[in-house]
Amino acid sequence: MSGETHLDFTANANGHPGAAPGNLGFNQIQLHRIDKHQAEVREMKDGALVATVREKLSKDGTALTSTTSSAGHPSQTTVWTRTGGTKDPKDPFAGDWTQDLSKTHMQQGSLIKIEADGSGGARFLGDYSYTARFDGKPYDVKNSRNDTVTLALADPHTVDETFRRDNQVTQKDRWQVSADGQQMICSTTATLETGQHVTEKLVFKKQ
């Protein structure tokens, strides 16, 4: 698998784990071919399950949908469109694929809470949580695939948020609050555990 992120591994479709060195979130791959158009990939780190990816090909073999599930996190769906490579009747998964951003979703229906922590920082509560100051220094993140977060104020209405895992940047968010304070837009660029590169814009309304 090659693209903006390169993954290199070999796995047999017999359900036995194979080595996947050099990846951020996992070092073993367990591949199971469900049928000709479906496969399940289990990503593991030192024998522990990190995420499960369900791959499903369209009947005409031109679209590939990847649904990633991991404990404590919403499912993440990435849709790919075939852009090259000869269709192989023995392995319809083979080929060159380009991500369809219009059909890719990291999460939907999220409810978050942001409040001042009383010392010039912010407390974030959602699918994950943290307390951090706007000083560009790393702070621990709880219940997340990421280890740390840093915050920086771009202007009074804009916050840049950077997440890291194993000291490598995995996600960058820009939060922008409307002038009336009733709407907040989060523009996200992230790399999933699978190495997939995802860009998404989320809109939040104050409750």
Q: Is the pLDDT of residue 107 over 80?
A: no
Q: Is the pLDDT of residue 77 over 70?
A: yes
Q: How many other C-beta atoms can be found within 10 angstroms of the C-beta atom of residue 201?
A: 10
Q: What's the CA gap between 37 and 25, in Å, rounded?
A: 26
Q: How far is CA 111 from each of CA 63, 133, 151, 183, 206, rounded to the nearest angstrom?
A: 31, 22, 20, 13, 10
Give CB contacts under 8 A, 24+ apart, made by 141-144.
Answer: 143/72
pLDDT at 24: 59
Q: Is the pLDDT of residue 3 over 70?
A: no
Q: Is the pLDDT of residue 72 over 70?
A: no
> For the chain, what are the domain ranges?
14-103, 113-205
Confidence of residue 194 (pLDDT cuts 50, 70, 90): low
Pair type for strands 48-57 and 63-69: antiparallel
Beta-carbon contacts of residue 68 (< 8 Å; ≥ 6 apart): 51, 52, 53, 75, 76, 77, 78, 192, 193, 194, 196
Q: What's the CA gap between 46 and 49, in Å, rounded?
A: 9
Q: What's the CA gap between 68 and 192, in Å, rounded?
A: 9
Mean pLDDT of the chain: 83
In DSSP terms, which residues pair with 129 in a beta bridge?
A: 125, 142
Q: Is the pLDDT of residue 8 over 80?
A: no
pLDDT at 162: 95
As a whole number, mean pLDDT of residues 192-205 equals: 74
And the tokens for 1?
A: 């698998």
Least confident among 54-58, 61-65, 68-72, 120-124: 68-72
Structure-model confidence comparison of residues 196 and 205, the more confident one: 205
